[in-house]
Amino acid sequence: MAYIFTLLFLISCVCLVVGLIRPRVFGRLFKGKATRKQIGIVFGMMIFVSFVLVGASPAPEGYEKKSSEPKVDPVISQESKTENSTTQNNPVEPNLPAPVANPDNTSITEPEVKPEPKEEQNQVKDLFQVTEVVDGDTIKVSLLGTLRLIGIDTPETKDPRKPVQCFGIEASNKAKELLSGKKVYLEYDPAQKQDKYGRTLAYVYREDGLFYNAEMIKQGYAHSYVRFPHPRLDEFNTYQQEARDSGRGFWATNTCNGDTTKAISVINTNSIPLLPISNEVNQGGFIKGSCASLKKLGLGNFREGDPNYTKSRDGDGDGLACEMN
């Protein structure tokens, strides 16, 4: 049936073309004058119907749909045949590690053991933002809060029980120079992660790799803290000896000569004669004037708690106003 419908489809196409060119040919078919519109409708319908019937007709017997790509049989070279026959006749034994002799003369093949990656290679370093430098050995970082740095001890500047110690301000300023606004990663002592005040104990590394704890000792701004043992104590002691031998920082003879327990030269305004200063200027122990005018009178280095200490006079916020060298 598919052949009949196909033939009908072709005849309809030819009639449509001829009728559109010369409609008079089909005058008798339409019993009068045939128009192109009539011819287009009739033969168009015949083309559509025959096309649908062709598609709906079953395929002829013996017809097989062939693949668009030709089937290619694999070609086996003579060399491959030779290798396959050789392999079948002489199977290849797998390469195994050499047997290890035991004391009882038996042989055991030990499997190859691959080394596991080191813990340092798998460790992801978490970065923390330094939010405040309290002093040379104490800082604050994001998420964790206050850190007490392991293994170093800097001269005091903020302890209310102690005076500002020799080179304390310099150590605090050095800490700000190295850490203010920086991102750091931390290393902990597995034996102790917090001190008795709840502060996290840590070695501090800057994002660029600078080991802050060690750097402060190397430059003579911090002592190696030997009161509590820690994993890097011997290393820090070596850095301290090098700084002392080189006269760096507070080890210099013209600074503290290594003795940072002594207080810096702080002038007590209560012991200064106030005769040159009028009563208008001196009110309740507070001396009016700028730091420059006070220094001309030999007054300065006012600590927090002193009547003459104000935040406006302490520009760097280190707890000491109108600093004098």
Distance CA 280, CA 290 (A): 15
Contacts 24+ apart (CB under 8 A), 172-175: 172/133, 172/135, 172/136, 172/318, 173/316, 173/318, 174/136, 174/216, 174/219, 174/221, 175/133, 175/135, 175/136, 175/137, 175/139, 175/216, 175/221
Structure tokens at 270: 């209560």
Rounded Cα distance between 319 and 310, Å, is 9
Enumerate residues 6+ apart whose C-beta is below 8 A from 231.
189
Give me the catalytic one of 110, 132, 199, 242: 199
Q: Are strands 145-149 and 200-206 parallel, antiparallel or unpaired?
A: parallel
User: Exposed e or buried b for every residue in 123-147, given b needs 16+ CB within 10 A?
Assistant: eeeeebebeebebbbbbbbeeeebb
The sign of the dihedral angle between the CA atoms of 132, 133, 139, 141 is: positive
Instruction: Reply yes or no on whether 148 is catalytic.
Output: yes
Using only C-alpha atoms, the chain has a radius of gyration, in whole angstroms, of 49
Q: What is the largest CA-CA distance in the chain?
A: 143
Determine whether 199 is an active site residue.
Answer: yes
Under a CB-based contact definition with an 8 Å cutoff, are residues 310 and 321 in contact?
yes
- DSSP at 204: E
At 52 the three-state DSSP class reads helix
**Amino acid at position 302, single letter:** F
User: What single letter denotes the amino acid at residue 215?
Assistant: E
Q: Give me the catalytic one of 61, 110, 132, 148.
A: 148
203 closest CA partner among 148, 241, 155, 121: 148
Q: Does 120 participate in catalysis according to the annotation?
A: no
Residues, the chain, total? 325
CB 134 within 8 A of CB 189: no
Q: Choosing from 69, 119, 156, 170, which is the catalytic residue? A: 156
Catalogue the active-site residues. 148, 156, 199
